[in-house]
Amino acid sequence: MGNPFPLSKVPVGRKVRVTDLKLEGFQRRRMLDIGLVPGTEVKVIRRSPIGDPTAYLVRGAIIGLRRDEASKVLVDEN
């Protein structure tokens, strides 16, 4: 277990686990609703050619997040 880092920094193909959300209010709720609850495994599927957004596999569904959104999701090695 290292220090948590932002999901936006995770390279394509890696699997990580959510530790915390640095978000409040509606944005936080939105992330929780799509299944990004602490403890959830996330796999980075692919990044768009210009580097943003990125597709993630979350609980059986592929979710696209922008870099600024993903940077607020803290993760740790799986």
Partner 1 sequence: MENCCQSCVSRSFSADVTLRGRYNVWQETGREKVIALAGNPNVGKTTVFNSLTGMRQHTGNWPGKTVTQAQGRFVHDDHSFLLVDLPGTYSLLAHSTDEQVARDFICFGRPDATIVVVDATCLARNLNLALQVMEITNKVVLCVNLLDEAESKGIRIDLEALSEKLGVPVVGTAARSGRGLDALKEALCRVATGQVAPAPLAVAYDEEVRAAMEQLLPRLEPLLQALPHLNPRWVAMRLLDGDEQFLDSLTEHTGAGQPEAKEEVLLCPQ
| 74 touches partner 1 by CB under 8 A | no
* CB under 8 A, 24+ apart: contacts of 24-27: 27/69, 27/72
| 35 touches partner 1 by CB under 8 A | yes
| 34 touches partner 1 by CB under 8 A | yes
| 60 touches partner 1 by CB under 8 A | yes
Piece of the chain touching partner 1 by CB under 8 A; list 12-20, 31-39, 48-56, 69-77: 31-39
Phi, psi of 28 (to 5 degrees): -65, -45
25 three-class SS? helix
Please report how close the Cβ of residue 73 comes to partner 1 at its closest, in angstroms. Answer: 16
The HSE-up count of residue 51 (CA atoms within 13 Å, CB side) is: 5
* Residues of this chain that bind partner 1 (CB under 8 A): 26, 29-30, 32-35, 58-61
